[in-house]
Amino acid sequence: QLQLVESGGGSVQSGGSLRLSCAVSGYAESRRCMGWFRQAPGKEREGLALIGSDGSPTYADSVRGRFTISRDNAKATLYLQMNSLKPEDTAMYYCAARSRSWCYATLFYDGMEYWGKGTLVTISS
């Protein structure tokens, strides 16, 4: 069983930055594809970024160039650096993982197996 715990959410003004963290515990943390997702009130969940066990990233068009996903396997921690934040980035942010080490874009929509409980990000204009 894998446990994921997000942190780093908060309230910032438009144009600001936040870095989210996701602490991973369980089995084979470093050998999993992991990702960040978000869900705004009244909207469907949106995939933002994925990262394979080799560190290779995949980004959704909506965040490419503003968000950066990274991982520190020694610390079993996943990160999401978010810059140039906008009010429409306001959402609950979740980290997720799957059993395999590689990622592919359709995981933005389905296939992640483990989920954290989320951390809230609020961007004010």
Q: Which residues pair with 95 in a beta bridge?
A: 36
- CA–CA dist 50, 57 (Å, integer): 6
Nearest to 93 by CA among 103, 105, 78: 78
- CA–CA dist 48, 34 (Å, integer): 11
- CA–CA dist 119, 91 (Å, integer): 9
In this predicted structure, what is the pLDDT of residue 83? 98
For 114, residues 6+ apart whose C-beta sits below 8 A from its C-beta are: 2, 3, 4, 26, 96, 97, 98
State pLDDT tens for residues 66-118.
999 999 999 999 999 999 999 999 999 999 999 999 999 899 999 999 999 99
State pLDDT tens for residues 11-23.
999 999 999 999 9
